[in-house]
Amino acid sequence: MPKPIMAHLSPEVITKFWSYVNIKGPDECWLWMGKKKAKENYGIFFLKGMILYSHRVAYCISSSEDPGALNVLHDCPGGDNPQCANPGHLRKGTQLENVADMVAKNRQATGDRTGSRVHPERQAKGERVNTAVLNTDQVLEIRNAYNGGYRNMAGLGRTYGVGRGTISKIIHRENWKHITMATCTASAAGWAGT
């Protein structure tokens, strides 16, 4: 549920809000100079214990209308600028319109711009995946057993409590790709299987 803004916009609050905005010409972006949300770079404004996006507050002040459940979209001439608080660059719209606007302006993350490619270090792997059944040592034991001549994938699956398909993906490095045999400490010759 969106936070109500209009009820809290006293003249003092409005003056304080605009003091954080670098107001320029009517066609230019008016940049938010206050705090920003780290990943998205949107301006944030603290009001009566609420954390609000600065462009939503700018929209409310200029239109005297609370957008409620609707989004406030940017239509900046030089491309959407999340820090812009120029009321002339803001309009309200549905989530569907917001997504369509993002796609039309090619701002969605695709291909090499996806999070997993831009920040691969943030990608959960192996034991860090919250649904992982196996750990690194078990994966190494499975690969060692297979490389040591034990070819019964169904048997390996029963031993480790996973399916034959999971074992196959581990052995063929479709899963747990980041684990190399160089990290192996166990000996394949000593693996007995069940």
Phi-psi group of 109: left, alpha or beta (phi > 0 → left; psi -120 to 50 → alpha; rest → beta): beta
Q: Does this model's pTM top 0.75?
A: no
Nearest to 168 by CA among 137, 186, 146, 185: 146
Residue range 162-182: mean pLDDT, rounded: 89
Q: Residue 181's pLDDT band (boundaries 50, 70, 90)?
A: low
User: For the segment 53-87, what is each residue's pLDDT rounded down to a tens digit?
Assistant: 999 999 999 999 999 999 999 999 988 899 999 99
In terms of CATH architecture, what is 6-108? Alpha-Beta Complex (3.90)
Name the segment(s) of the chain with CATH classification 3.90.75. 6-108
